Amino acid sequence: MWTGLVNALGKRDSPILIVITTAGSGEESVCKRQHAYSEKVLTGTLQADDWFAWVCCLDDGDDYTDPATWIKANPNLGVSVREKDLAALLNQAAGDPASLNEVLRVRFGIWTQTSVAYFPMNEWAQCNEPIDLESLKNQPCFGGLDLSTTTDISAFVLLFPPYGDRTKWVVLPYFFLPKATLQSDASETEFHTICGHGKDTFN
């Protein structure tokens, strides 16, 4: 549809195409490609005088729970977007992590890898405590296996419940991806970034 619309502009002497959208999920969408192109124009990497882009979003490292940052993604804050409404959405997302990604995309212009996230990643990152693998030998364990065919990620995960003096659960995940699906160095780096944590603990 996007290609058809763009190609149809050639029938006009002075065509103009206006597109407004929120951030999305994944890296392969039409929206993400246009976003990447717009960034190149805005940073001067690419000269395109016929392309106007305005991106409103939080910067890397911004705390989306800090009201002081909200104006970046909501330039009409206090007019058509009310702070109390944003606060209520974030409060709801705190109790329903599956809705957090939608709030981040639609309200704060943050791109996410998936449309739904069941764990806030900042909380998940706090679970990366060192684990003594030898201490897990002969302890109760649950195993889960999710196999793929050619392109998806295969996963084998071991889950150790609290046992003896250990009061925390321990997760040992192992991920496998066919080499043929790693199309570039960038995609391989991204894969290791997503699946780089080999073990985690949580309460």
> Same domain, yes or no, for 103 and 145?
no
- Are residues 135 and 108 part of one domain? no
User: Do residues 191 and 197 make contact, with C-beta atoms less than 8 angstroms apart?
Assistant: no
Which residues lie across from 170 on neighbouring strands? 160, 201
Same structural domain, 101 and 147: no
1-5, 12-16, 120-124: which range is least confident on average?
A: 120-124
| Residue 92 in tokens | 């709801």
CB neighbour list of residue 120: distance below 8 Å, 6 or more residues apart = 97, 100
Please check whether residues 168 and 143 belong to one and the same domain: yes
Q: What is the pLDDT of residue 185?
A: 44
Q: Which residue has the higher pLDDT, 195 or 105?
A: 105
Number of domains observed in the structure of the chain: 2
Percent of the chain with pLDDT over 90: 39
Same domain for 187 and 87, yes or no, is no
Question: Domain for residue 198, yes or no?
Answer: yes
Domain holding 135, by residue range, is 130-202
Query: pTM of the prediction?
Result: 0.55
Q: Which of 63, 95, 118 is the last residue before a domain boundary?
A: 118
**Count, residues in the chain:** 203
Q: d(Cα 166, Cα 140) in Å, to the nearest integer?
A: 12
Residue 87 forms part of a structural domain: yes
Mean pLDDT over the full length of the chain: 82
Domain co-membership, 20 together with 99: yes
Question: Does residue 155 share a domain with residue 111?
Answer: no
Q: Are 166 and 196 in contact (CB under 8 A)?
A: no
Task: Please tell me the distance from the alpha carbon of residue 24 to that of residue 104, in angstroms, as a whole number.
Answer: 9
On whether residue 123 sits in a domain, the answer given is no
Closest CA to 15 of 51, 41, 39: 51
pLDDT tens, position by position, 83-137: 999 999 999 988 887 788 889 999 999 888 766 555 666 677 777 788 889 989 9
Per-residue pLDDT band for 170 (boundaries 50, 70, 90) equals very high
Residue 125 lies in a domain: no
158: pLDDT confidence band, cut at 50, 70 and 90?
very high
Mean pLDDT, rounded, for 52-78: 93
Q: Where are the extended beta strands (E) located within 47-149?
A: 142-146
Distance of alpha carbon 181 from its chain centroid, rounded? 20
